[in-house]
A and B are shown apart, each in its own frame.
Chain A
Amino acid sequence: MASVKFNQVTKSYGKQEVIQSTSFEIQDKEFVVLVGPSGCGKSTMLRMIAGLEEITTGTIEIGDTVVNKLPPKDRDIAIVFQNYALYPHMTAYENMAFGLKIRGMSKSVIEEKVMKAAKILDIEDLLDRKPKAMSGGQRQRIAIGRAIVRNPKVFLFDEPLSNLDAKLRGQMRLEISLLHKKLQATMVYVTHDQVEAMTLGDRIIVLNKGVIQQIDTPQNLYNHPTNQFVAGFIGSPTMNFMKGKIYQEDEIEVFISEDQSFRLSLNTVYGLNPYQNVILGIRPEHIFSSQTLLKNPLQFQAEVRWVELLGHEGFAFFDLGGQQLSARLRADELKDPPFSKKLYIEGERLHIFDADTGLNLM
C-alpha cells in the first residue's frame, strides 16, 4: 500500500485550466473521497493518478515514486469505473483474470487469486456468468473483484455507484466501506453524491471549478465549512442561506430584512465589522419548533407555504425576508399548508459568510 501526493499539480486543456495548482497528500491506507459538482475536475484528478490523463505541471507521487512519466500499468493501481467497464464477451472469471493473464501469471496462480477475491466479495457463484447475465450490483462486485485480484497499492473508484438504484447504492456503500477495513488499502473515491462522500471517506476533498475548497473529515466539513460553497454542498437537504448585514458590532444583530433580525451572542462571533454585508447560513435540521434544549434560540414567525412529508419527519418551506428556507421537523409538527408557525433557530449553529468572498467569518 502507499500514499498519494500531489505537488502543485495543474491540468489544462489548451488555454482552459481545469485543475488549478493543487497540493495535498493522501495517507497510506486512507480512504479519501473527491467530491464536487459535475465538471469540477474530480474525475480528471482521479484519472491523473491512474495515468489516464497527463498532468500539465507539478508532480504526482505514489509511495516514494514520482509517477508523472509512468504508464498506468506501471503505477500499481486499479480503477473501478462508473460503467463497470467489464468486457462483455468474457465471463466474470475471465474479466477478473484478464490483468493477471496479461502479466503472464500461471493458470494455477490466477485461479488462486481470482477465487480468493471472489470469496472476499461473495461472488463465487457468479464467476461463470457474462456481464449481460448479471444485475448492476453484481457487475459492480465483479469490477471491484477485478481491481482487488492484483492487490494494487492504490484503489481508484470513479463514481462506481452512480448507475445503481438507491437501495443497492446504500448496500454497496456499506460493502465498499467494509472492504476498505478488510483490505486496509489506500482508496481514492470520486463521487458527486455528498451522502456517499460523508459515509465513506476518512477525509473528503471538496472541489469546485478545479479548485480545492476544503480537505477535512466529514464531521468537520459539516460543522465548520470554510466557505459558502462547502456549506451548501455538504449536508442534505442543502443549508439555508439568507442575506444580511452586521448592524452594530457590540450588539451583533444581523438583519435579514427590515422587520426580521437575530441577535448573536458575542462568544460565537469574531471580527465582524459594522455594516458588513454577510450571508447567514443555517441547516434545516437546526431550525426547531421548540426552544427547549436550545442554547441560543432565535425566534421567528414562519408562514409555511409548502410541506414535504417523509414518514417520520418532513420539511416545511417558508419565506423569510424574501428568501425561501426549509426546516426539518417531526411529521406530527406539520399540517396542511398554508399555516403560521413559531420556529427557533439554534444561534450556536448559525454560520456567517462574507457576502463578497463567501468565506466563513466565524
Chain B
Amino acid sequence: MKAFWNKISPYLIISPYIIHLGLFVLFPVIFSIVLVLHKWNIISPMEYVGLDNFQRLFSDRLFWKALWNTFIFILVHIPLQIVIALFLAYFLNEKILARSFFRAAFFMPVVISGVVITILWQQLYGLESGVINRMLISLGLNRVEWLSNPNIAMISIAIMATWKNVGLYVILFLVGLQTVPRSYYEAAEVEGASAWQQFRYITIPAINPTIFMVVILSTIGGFSLFIEPYIMTDGGPLNSTLSAMLYIYKQAFGYYHMGYSATLSIFFAIIIMGVVVVQKIFVENEEH
C-alpha cells in the first residue's frame, strides 16, 4: 500500500498544475489552431474556411496599423524603461539615505491593479483638469493633448506603462548589480577607471544576462499591451492607440470573429517569437 502511494503521490502533487495547464493553456492553444481554419461566431456551428482567415489577415489594413502602433509603443517603452530602471537600480544599489523606502516605493505601482493605475493616469492626463496640464499652465506653457492627439497618445500610454512597470525591472537590475563582485570595481578603480568607465566596461557586461531578460520580458509585456488603451482611449483617436492585442480582443469579443481572431493570435505569437529569437541572437553576439 505504501509503495502504491509512493508511486502515485508525485502525480497527485503535480495534478492541480497539470489540470490548470491543460484547461487554460493547452486546450485554448489547440482550440485556437483548430479555429484558424474555421469561421465561428460562438452561436452558429463552426464552418471550415481553409486558409481564408490568413488571406483576410494579409489584406487587413487595420491589423497592420495595430501592429505598427504596437511596435511604436515597444520602441518608446523598452529603451525608456531600461534606461530609467538601470539608472534607478544603480543609485538604489549605493548606500543612499532611506534606500529601503525608495526600493519599496518604486515597486509599489507593480503590485497595484493595472486598471486602477490606468484610471489614475487618465485623470492626470486630463486635458482641462489633469494635474500635468495644470502644472504646465502654471509654468506658463501650453496644454498638451496627451490622449486626444493621435501623434502623442501612444507615447503618453508608453510613459504610463513605463511608470507602472519600471519598479519590477529596478528590482531585477538590483539583483543583477548585486551579483557583480565589489572587487571588480575596486580592481578597476586601482587601474584608473572613472565611474563612467566602470559602468561601461564592468557593470554593463556583467549584467548583460539581466539586460537580456529585461528586454525579453518587456518585449513580451509590450506586445501584450491591452488594458491601458482599452480603458484610456479604446484604441483612439483615429486608431492611433489600437494595439494588436486590443484589435484581436475586439475581433473576438466585439465582432465575434473567433476564427479570424485566433488566426491573428497565432500570427502575432509567431511575430513575438521571431523578435525574441532575434534579440537572443543579438545579445549572444554581444557577449562573445
Contacts and interface: CB of A to CB of B under 8 A. Distances in A.
B287 A85 contact: no
B190 A78 contact: yes
A131 B193 CA distance: 20
Interface in A36-83: 50-52, 71-73, 77-79, 81-83
Contacts of A99: 190-193
Contacts of A79: 186-187, 190
B286 to A, nearest CB: 10
A103 interface: yes
Contact of B190 (A77, A87, A88, A89): A77
A102 B208 contact: no
Given A81-B186, A89-B206, A73 B181 contact: no
Contacts of B189: 52, 71-73
Interface size class of B (residues with CB under 8 A): 10 to 19
A98 interface: yes
B218 to A, nearest CB: 23
B192 A103 contact: yes
A22 B244 CA distance: 70
B188 interface: yes
B183 interface: yes
Nearest to A149: B191
Contacts of A85: 181, 183-184, 186-187
Contacts of A103: 192
A50 B190 contact: yes
Contacts, number: 60
Interface in A121-171: 146, 150
A103 B197 CA distance: 11
A98 B201 CA distance: 9
A146 B181 CA distance: 18
A77 B206 CA distance: 25
A150 B191 CA distance: 9
Contacts of B192: 73, 99, 102-103
B127 interface: no
Contact of B202 (A78, A82, A87): A87
B28 interface: no
A140 B189 CA distance: 19
A81 B181 CA distance: 11
> Which residue of B186, B189, B192 has the most chain A CB atoms within 10 A of its CB atom?
B192
Nearest to A52: B186
Interface in A77-107: 77-79, 81-83, 85, 87-90, 98-99, 102-103
Contacts of B187: 79, 81, 85, 87, 146
A77 B192 CA distance: 11
A179 to B, nearest CB: 19
A146 B191 CA distance: 9
A102 B183 contact: no
Given A50-B186, A73-B189, A146-B187, 7 more contacts: A52-B189, A71-B189, A85-B183, A87-B201, A87-B205, A89-B208, A102-B197
Interface of B: 181, 183-184, 186-193, 197, 201-202, 205-206, 208, 287
27 contacts: A50-B190, A52-B189, A52-B190, A71-B189, A73-B189, A73-B193, A79-B187, A81-B183, A81-B187, A82-B183, A83-B183, A85-B181, A85-B183, A85-B187, A87-B184, A87-B205, A88-B206, A89-B206, A90-B205, A98-B188, A98-B191, A98-B193, A99-B190, A102-B191, A102-B193, A102-B197, A103-B192
Interface of A: 50-52, 71-73, 77-79, 81-83, 85, 87-90, 98-99, 102-103, 146, 150
Closest CB pairs A-B (n = 6): A99-B191, A73-B192, A85-B183, A89-B205, A85-B187, A72-B190
